[in-house]
Amino acid sequence: MAEDQNPSVSNTRVLLRLLQWAGPYRWHYALLGLLAFLVAALYIVDLQIIRLMVNALLQGHRARLLRLLLWGLGLVAVVNLLTLGADVLKAWVGVKATERLQREMFARALAAPLRNLHALHSADLYNRIQDSAATAQSAISQHLAAIVRNFAQAVFAVTYLLLLNPVLALGCIAMGIGLPLAVAPGMKRLGVLYWQRQVALTKEQAAVQESVQAAEFLLGQGLAERAVERYMTRSGERLRRHRRVAWGEGFAYRSWPLIFLVGFIYTLGVGGWMVARHWLDVGAVIASMLTFANLTNPMMSFAMIWPQFMNALVQARRAFAIVDLPAEHAAQDAGPPGAPQASAASVSPALRITPIPRAWAERDIMFDRVSFRYRPDQEQPVLDAVSLCIPAGRTTALVGPSGSGKSTLVQLLMRLYDPDTGRILVGDWNLAEWDPRAWRLLLGYVPQDALLLSGTLYDNILVAKPDATREEVWRAAELARVDEFAARLPQGFDTPVGERGMLLSGGQRQRLALARALLRDPPILLLDEPTSALDSENEALVQAALERSARGRTTLLIAHRLTTVRGAHQIVCMAQGRIVETGRHEELLARRGLYWSLYTGGDADAGAAPAAQAAAESS
């Protein structure tokens, strides 16, 4: 994200990329440019009519004055109609271009590796997609279009002034162009000020979001006042940045009335002197004054647009940083040779997925000396040369003290991360060669903290497979025993779950998450401590649903409560990133090792280090 982090990166590069991005609408923008030049030319024709009207009035030619008046009114009507059409077209193109950029940003964010995505705060990501994209597109659809319009207007104004009187024109041009150029360097700083203000705004929004999400904790621990202080600090920084922007904008905006006044006095004085010597007619002086306004207005408008244009380029830099996120499936095939090809019809290339046949996932999964660190500078690996076979169609349980690498192993299997060294094999195929998104379609995942979306019970199950029939949804709900508590709710499956499922109990949320995972009938089921936060009654209900759902599937279960793993075909005991013991429940108890210590309530963390050391020496 170099462009995003460095505000001094060439604005020309960003603008050229915006123009390239606007390619699908190039004919619309060309039409806008044509309308801008046409309207600018008609303005000059209108000024010439005003000149002729003034002269006709002074000379007493009433009939000619009436004809010119009618022509002028008709021309004003035409100009207004053309301007209205241009405004409507500009608004339509702006909305379509913004929608396209937002869609691509959202797709890229969801297709990016987790390492890259975690580098962004969620509030910052939301701000970029929602606000930065819209502001970025305004650089083309609004600000650049206005600059072209003002340029055309200035060119026609200069030409007309030269035709009226070269001497008078040169002075008007010098003031109309020279003075704005004199104040231009002061506006260059605005781009950096806008970038700094946006960074401060993002931090302020992040403070609000984090405090709202952690409201229960903050209130329960008496930390609400500190959260308010943190917000006020960030809000104060944003206000300071905003104040600097206001000073810069004020300098840009308020210099123009002075320029206009000086030019007006010059035109009136010099023009009046020329009229007194019969070098110029009165109509030409009036037309010159109006033309000078027609010259300074574009320059004044340019001064007002320029800061906004700079801000739009800053936002474009932030938006393109998301578009440039690498896709985790880049330069990878969907699977082994013979896989079906992806359809070209897709919202975004980042979302095209080539499906993997289900039969390929119904094989043993092998971790072959897998090592992994979340950060390159991390001293101790999270997984250290782990080798493990997960039999197809059987249940494998992962147990061990906190930080032993259980969840990381599941994350690697889901291809949220890739191993630093070693391989993960599915049958004889290296999982790293497959499109991770296609692989995940064969996985059913139930996290420790079930993430539910605002909507109904039915909506939250259907999200896993939007084209599922109602019968398929009912079957998944029955398998996860969602139907039991749904029948007791007032609206059944149409009952709203609230934000993040807060209207449901913990056990209900877990069963709903399980139903969602089962809707696709996945051959592989991944369960990350799904009962750790439940009471005994809900744990029994969820455990029964899990055992029922795991039949015939390759199931990998992370367990906090060891009573839930006694029926597993294989129990893998981990400590400090290594596999310490493997076996069935009775076998591991008989060894009186780390598993026995965990099961009998001993100090698991105390026994983890020597067990891991012994495992390291044996390998």
Q: Convert the pLDDT of each residue in 32-51 to its tens digit.
A: 888 888 888 888 888 788 87
How many CB atoms are closer than 10 A to CB 58? 11
Place of tokens 């019970």: 457
- How much of the chain is in helix, strand and coil states, percent to nearest 5? 65, 10, 25
pLDDT at 158 over 60: yes
How many CB atoms are closer than 10 A to CB 261? 11
CB within 8 Å of 331: residues ≥ 6 apart: none
At residue 536's C-alpha, the angle toward residues 535 and 539, to 5°, is 85
Instruction: State which of 139-153, 267-281, 475-489 shows the largest mean pLDDT.
Output: 475-489
Torsion angle, CA of 211/214/215/216, rounded to 10 degrees?
Answer: -170
CB 314 within 8 A of CB 6: no
Give the pLDDT of residue 252.
64
Q: Which of 206, 176, 213 minimizes the C-alpha distance to 295? A: 176
Give the pLDDT of residue 347.
42
How far is 588 from 95, CA to CA, in rounded Å?
A: 63
- What domains does the chain contain, in order, with CATH numbers? 10-323 (1.20.1560.10), 358-442+556-619 (3.40.50.300)
Q: Convert the pLDDT of each residue in 390-438 to its tens digit.
A: 999 899 999 988 888 898 999 999 888 889 999 999 988 898 888 888 8
The backbone torsions φ and ψ at residue 363, rounded to the nearest 5 degrees and listed phi first, read -135, 165
How far is 343 from 352, CA to CA, in rounded Å?
A: 7
Mean pLDDT rounded to a whole number for the chain: 78
How many CB atoms are closer than 10 A to CB 462? 20
Q: Convert the pLDDT of each residue in 159-213 to its tens digit.
A: 888 887 887 778 777 776 666 666 666 666 666 777 778 788 878 877 777 777 6
Q: Which of 467, 589, 566 minimizes the C-alpha distance to 520? A: 467
Tokens of 89: 């077209």
What is the three-class DSSP state of 114?
Answer: helix
Instruction: Give the pLDDT mean for 225-243.
Output: 83
pLDDT at 148 over 90: no
Instruction: State which of 175-189, 244-258, 340-354 shows the largest mean pLDDT.
Output: 244-258
Q: Convert the pLDDT of each residue in 311-329 to its tens digit.
A: 788 888 888 888 888 776 5
Q: Convert the pLDDT of each residue in 436-462 to its tens digit.
A: 888 888 888 888 777 787 788 888 888
Largest CA distance in the chain: 120
CB 438 within 8 A of CB 328: no
Tokens of 195: 């970038």
Q: Is the C-alpha dihedral spanning 188, 191, 197, 199 positive or negative?
A: negative
- What percentage of the chain carries pLDDT values higher than 90? 9
Residue 365 bridge partners (DSSP)? 390, 426
Q: Which helix (H) or strand (E) holds 3?
A: helix 2-5
pLDDT at 330 over 50: no
pLDDT at 604 over 80: no
Give the pLDDT of residue 332.
46
Give the pLDDT of residue 303.
66
Tokens of 341: 């090809």
pLDDT at 273 over 90: no
Instruction: Give the pLDDT mean for 366-385.
Output: 89
Q: Supply the pTM of this predicted model.
A: 0.60
Instruction: Give the pLDDT mean for 355-371.
Output: 88
Q: Convert the pLDDT of each residue in 501-514 to its tens digit.
A: 778 887 788 888 88
Q: Output 367 or 351, whichever has higher pLDDT.
A: 367
| DSSP per-residue codes, 140-187 | IIIIIHHHHHHHHHHHHHHHHHHHH-HHHHHHHHIIIIIHHHHHHHHH
pLDDT at 348 over 70: no
